[in-house]
């Protein structure tokens, strides 16, 4: 091993370390402040770890704030969105993957169009449509909106998973007398289970993070999702940094769990929804 090679390896590892620090430091700081007791927060300034840890902020947030409600609302909204989107996207994705039909081009074009225009355009008209239906300030309204926003991308994602399964399987089943829908449900869907899990994960994360429409459509605390609740908490109690960050850690946990679930499928997901975050 020459000195030059050793230097190369060293530089490589140092660069990786740099990226790791940059990626993780903000999250580390979030956790650190959330476990720092209020007294030490100001006296110890920028110390990397407090001399004493406490979970008082978490206890306060869980017992004396509305965050458990926000958390539950977000869980309901993101969970139902993920399930409904996955059902709709798997049938639509199956159609795009297995059939050649006249409208296919137009369906794909429509779905691509929805990925290209700025969603912020829809903030006002969607509010105007949902308001007389009583769907503003309601979790159902949010689920409907999020479902529609995520269906196109999830359809392309499911299509890519179906494309990976050989057609012979359904053909064999249909020769044995099954209808195509039965073949789809009993043979193809079980084979795409990992893909379905990935789609659930992607949609859950997207719905969990959505901010603008929940700000626009939700006003009271009862139907507030986590982002809305956290932002109103921040503007009201902007000095309780420990509590805000404890709430932030709570918002982070489900996102990280679902990230682990979909980690293996990131590439497929990002290319299917190329324009999606």
Min CB(62)–another protein separation in Å: 18
Closer residue to another protein in complex, CB, 60/127? 127
Residues 237-266 that bind another protein (CB under 8 A): 241, 244-245, 248, 251-252, 255-256, 258-260, 263, 266
Binder of another protein out of 166, 175, 190, 236 (CB under 8 A): 175
For residues 63 and 275, which CB has a smaller minimum distance to another protein in the complex?
A: 275
Q: Candidates 24-32, 56-64, 65-73, 188-196: pick the segment binding another protein (CB under 8 A).
A: 24-32
Residues whose CB is less than 8 angstroms from the CB of residue 208 and which lie 6 or more positions away in sequence, other chains included: 74, 78, 226, 251, 254, 255, 258
The residue from 6, 52, 72, 103 that contacts another protein (CB under 8 A) is 103
Kindly tell me which residue out of 6, 10, 16, 193 binds another protein, with binding defined by CB under 8 A: 16
∠ CA 262-89-154, rounded to 5°: 40
* Beta carbons of 199 and 85 less than 8 angstroms apart: yes
Q: What share of the chain is helix, strand, coil (3-state, %, to 5)?
A: 80, 0, 20
Binding test (CB under 8 A) with another protein, winner from 2, 4, 42, 105: 42
d(CA 73, CA 86): 20
What is the three-class DSSP state of 146? helix
Q: Name residues whose C-beta falls within 8 Å of residue 130's C-beta, 6 or more positions apart in sequence.
A: 136, 141, 144, 145, 217
User: Residue 17 burial by CB count (10 A; 0-12/13-18/19+): exposed, middle or buried?
Assistant: exposed
How many CB atoms are located within 10 Å of the residue 40 CB? 16
Check residue 132 for interaction with another protein (CB under 8 A).
Answer: no
Q: With binding defined as CB under 8 A, does residue 171 bind another protein?
A: yes
**Exposed, middle or buried: residue 44 (CB in 10 Å: 0-12, 13-18, 19+)?**
middle
Q: Which is nearer to another protein, 69 or 114 (CB)?
A: 114
Burial environment of residue 31 by CB neighbours within 10 A (0 to 12, 13 to 18, 19 or more): middle
CB 40 within 8 A of CB 52: yes
> How far apart are alpha carbons 38 and 42 in whole angstroms?
7
* Contact between 60 and another protein per CB under 8 A: no
Task: Indicate whether 163 belongs to the interface with another protein (CB under 8 A).
Answer: no
- What's the min distance (Å) between Cβ of 177 and another protein? 6
Question: Under the criterion CB under 8 A, does residue 112 sit at the interface with another protein?
Answer: no
**Is residue 166 within the footprint of another protein (CB under 8 A)?**
no
275 binds another protein (CB under 8 A): yes
88 near another protein, rule: CB under 8 A: yes
Shortest separation between residue 130's beta carbon and another protein, angstroms: 9
Q: Total residues at the site for another protein (CB under 8 A)?
A: 98
CB of 57 to another protein, least distance (A): 12
Binding another protein by CB under 8 A: which of 15, 55, 133, 193?
Answer: 15
């Amino acid at each position: 091993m020459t000195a030059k090679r050793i230097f190369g390896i060293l530089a490589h590892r140092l660069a990786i370390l740099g990226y790791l620090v940059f990626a993780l430091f903000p999250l580390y700081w979030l956790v650190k402040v959330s476990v720092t007791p209020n007294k030490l927060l100001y006296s110890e300034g920028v110390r990397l770890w407090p001399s004493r840890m406490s979970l008082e902020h978490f206890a306060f947030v869980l017992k004396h704030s509305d965050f458990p409600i926000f958390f539950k609302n977000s869980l309901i909204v993101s969970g139902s969105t993920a399930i409904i989107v996955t059902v709709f996207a798997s049938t639509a994705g199956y159609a795009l993957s297995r059939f050649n039909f006249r409208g296919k081009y137009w369906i794909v074009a429509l779905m691509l169009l929805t990925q290209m225009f700025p969603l912020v355009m829809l903030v006002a008209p969607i509010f105007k449509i949902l308001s007389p239906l009583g769907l503003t300030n309601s979790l159902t309204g949010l689920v409907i909106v999020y479902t529609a926003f995520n269906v196109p991308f999830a359809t392309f994602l499911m299509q890519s998973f179906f494309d990976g399964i050989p057609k012979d399987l359904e053909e064999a089943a249909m020769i044995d007398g099954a209808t195509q829908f039965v073949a789809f449900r009993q043979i193809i869907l079980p084979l795409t289970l990992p893909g379905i899990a990935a789609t659930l994960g992607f949609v859950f994360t997207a719905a969990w993070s959505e901010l603008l429409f929940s700000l626009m459509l939700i006003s009271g605390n009862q139907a507030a999702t986590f982002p809305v609740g956290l932002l109103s908490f921040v503007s009201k109690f902007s000095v309780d940094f420990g509590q805000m960050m404890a709430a932030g850690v709570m918002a982070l946990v489900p996102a990280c769990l679902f990230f682990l679930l979909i980690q293996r499928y990131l590439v497929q997901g990002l290319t299917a929804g190329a324009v999606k975050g």
